[in-house]
Structure formats: C-alpha cells, structure tokens
Amino acid sequence: MIFSAMTDVGKVREHNEDSYLAKEYGNATLLAVFDGMGGAVAGEEASSTAKAEFEAYFDAFFQTAVLPEPAALQAALASAADRANFAVYTKAIENPAYKGMGTTLVAALCTDDKIYIANVGDSRAYLIDREVALQVTHDHSFVQHLVDLGKLTPEEARTNPNKNIITRAVGVEPSVGVDVSVLLRPQFKRKTLLLCSDGLSGAVEPQEMVKLRAKNKAPDSLVRAMIDAANAAGGNDNITVIAANPA
C-alpha cells in the first residue's frame, strides 16, 4: 500500500488540535485521524493522547508474526478505541484544565483483501474513483441525525450553522460506541482511500475531491492538493488528510 499523511493548522486557528497515525505492521497498514476538541490545550491533549493509546494498542497487538483472523482485526479496532476513550476521559477527570475534552476518530486497518474502518464523531473516510467520492463512514453529528430523520437534506446539512456539533466523541464519557465496518477488495480496488478531519470535508465538496484525485495520482501530491483546496476555501479549521492507494 502506498500512502501519505499531512496535517495543517489552516488559516484561522492558532493551534493545530488534529493528530494522525500512519504505520505499517508487516502486511497490515494502520491509518487514523483524530480531531481534538475542548480548546487549544485540551483539544491537542485529547487527540495526541488518543493517538498514543491507539498506537500502543496495535504495537502490542501485532507483536505476533501471523496476521490475525478477520474477526480479531475488527474487534481490535473497537478495543483500541475503548482504550483511547478511557485514557482521554481519565485525563479530563484528573486535570481541570482538560475538563470536557474529547476527540473524533476515524481509522482504517488495511490488509491485502480487506479494509476495516472505525469511526467516532465526524471525521470521515471516503473511497474516491474517477466518478465519485463515496463517504463510507456515518457522521455522529447533530445535522446528520436531522438528515437521517428526513428533516434536512445533505446539501442543507453542509451549510447548517450547527454542522460542527457532534453527538459522539472519544473521551467525553466513560465509554463510547464505535462504528466498525469492513470493505472487501472489489469495493476498494483501483480507488483511493481518504481519511480526513472536518477541516477538509467541511470545505471541499466531494466532486472537487474527485477532480483533485484525477490530477494527483500519487498520495503525497493528493494530500497536499486537498489541504491547499481547503485553505483556498478559507482554511477555517485544522486540516488533516491521509490518502492511500491499496495494492
């Protein structure tokens, strides 16, 4: 798998509260984006703590030489998210400066024939081909809830003033629900997997992502182009992007 990751503070905020993880474990690749919340200090602490716990979990998980069974890989994503949630929640309880902090999470654990996706909050995973940027995660957000109820259209949701309100986050409660799904090779073959914080998805339309991918085949140039596009649209938030071309 060829992949690239990049984060950018954007044009408005003074601090970058995003973190990312991109790491290979033999035949598996782990990619993840964390978008912290709770103010500059707390947001940075939340996302970096979640990243560290997530990475530590998989460092231990992949100590064996044999790639685990699919069910174990799927369960590992949920377990790693639980561990990250407990670490962030505990820090927030112990330090008043971190009260209420949390972070989103979107992660992809990629093997030769499957991609396991986990998400909490509104950071997203997309599959992009020549025609469409398909969102493969489901936002845990207030406006997405209204879309699900039929009270907002997806187009209305993009410009709704409450679009940044999330309904689920890592570290806010003692436990957290994690959505885990599996993509099979025919679903992602010849496509680009994109993980991002809402600094990208809130600024760059899916069809623009398709156009950028058409002009930037390599993941390193694609992530740079995506961040440039988000900044050109105002750069109102931190922007983190991971692009991967599965083998």
199-239: pLDDT as tens digits: 999 999 999 999 999 999 999 999 999 999 999 999 999 99
Token digits of residue 89: 């929640």
Residue 67, pLDDT > 80, answer: no
Residue 155: per-residue pLDDT:
74
Q: Report, as an integer, the average pLDDT of 49-75.
A: 91
Q: What b/e sequence results for 99-118 when a residue is b if at least 16 CB atoms lie within 10 Å of its CB, and e otherwise?
A: eebbbbbbbbbbbeebbbbb
* C-alpha closest to that of 225 among 245, 236, 239: 239
Report the percentage of the chain scoring pLDDT > 90: 81
For the ranges 35-39, 115-119, 146-150, 243-247, the lowest mean pLDDT is seen at 146-150
Residue 224: per-residue pLDDT:
98
Would you say 49 and 87 are in contact if contact means Cβ atoms under 8 Å apart?
yes
Helix (H) or strand (E) holding 247: none
Burial class, 198, CB count within 10 angstroms (exposed 0-12 / middle 13-18 / buried 19+): buried
* C-alpha closest to that of 77 among 112, 117, 134: 117
On average, the pLDDT of the chain sits at: 93
Q: In what order do the strands lie in the sheet with 133-135?
A: 2-8, 239-245, 192-196, 124-128, 133-135
Residue 157: per-residue pLDDT:
76
Would you say 169 and 178 are in contact if contact means Cβ atoms under 8 Å apart?
no
CATH code for the structural domain at 2-245? 3.60.40.10
* C-alpha closest to that of 246 among 180, 186, 182: 186
Residue 38, pLDDT > 90, answer: no
Higher pLDDT, 64 or 120: 120
Q: Report, as an integer, the average pLDDT of 108-124.
A: 96
Residue pointed to by tokens 């992502």: 209
Q: Report, as an integer, the average pLDDT of 174-189.
A: 94
Residue 160: per-residue pLDDT:
74
Token digits of residue 132: 């469409």
Would you say 178 and 77 are in contact if contact means Cβ atoms under 8 Å apart?
yes
Residue 65: per-residue pLDDT:
63
Residue 117, pLDDT > 80, answer: yes
Q: Report, as an integer, the average pLDDT of 112-132.
A: 96
